Amino acid sequence: MLDTHKASLIGSDNDITKPLTLLAFDFGTRQIGVAIGQTLLGSANPLTVLKARDGIPNWSEIEDLLKKWQPDQLLVGLPLNMDDSESEFCARTRKFARRLHGRFGLQVSMVDERLSTFEAKQMIREQGKRQGSYRDQPVDDLAAVMILKSWLSDPGGATAP
């Protein structure tokens, strides 16, 4: 059962059964992975990797994605430590999430992203698709897929930025 704080993150006029379109972000200082998903089908697919300068994206690129895909909610991966404590990077990630909400007025929720990049890299290696460096061929969009899948399996686990 969802507590009232977590339930409010899903949206005041949305119930859990209403189909939602979601964009998930794997925030980084050099690049930000983006995935698209829907609750109706439980789908999560890589969308793109955006360039960033010291964690600052080209906001017009994000605006273009929002116009094109018209998500109901945004998800941002929260890089918690394995002991559930917040990493030093969590503050920057939360700031990015608050800026998304402030600029675009959409519901933004934080999702535990522990091991999402590790899982994305492992998936690529298992498929035999790894050639070159992760800087040249980033997996951030696949990490965003992992974040989205995590939310789809447990929407009540999300927290506010």
Decide if 6 is inside a domain.
Answer: no
Decide if 14 is inside a domain.
Answer: no
Assign 24 to helix, strand or coil. Answer: strand
CA–centroid distance for 99 within its chain: 14
Decide if 82 is inside a domain.
Answer: yes
In angstroms, the CA 153 to CA 45 distance is 15
Domain assignment of residue 118, given as a range: 23-157
Count of domains forming the chain: 1
Decide if 63 is inside a domain.
Answer: yes
> pTM of this prediction?
0.79
Q: What is the pLDDT along the chain (161 residues), one digit of tens a residue?
A: 333 333 334 344 445 578 999 999 999 999 999 999 999 999 999 999 999 999 999 999 999 999 999 999 999 999 988 888 888 889 999 999 999 999 999 999 999 887 656 565 666 666 655 555 445 556 788 889 999 998 998 888 888 88
Decide if 129 is inside a domain.
Answer: yes
Decide if 10 is inside a domain.
Answer: no
Decide if 133 is inside a domain.
Answer: yes
CATH code at position 126: 3.30.420.140
Q: Which of 24, 18, 11 lies closest to 39, judged by CA?
A: 18
Decide if 13 is inside a domain.
Answer: no
Q: How many Å is the Cα radius of gyration of the chain?
A: 15
* Tokens read off for 9: 């993150």
3-state secondary structure 67-108: HHHCCCEEEEEECECCCCCECCCHHHHHHHHHHHHHHHCCEE
CA angle, corner 131, sides to 26 and 45, nearest 5?
35
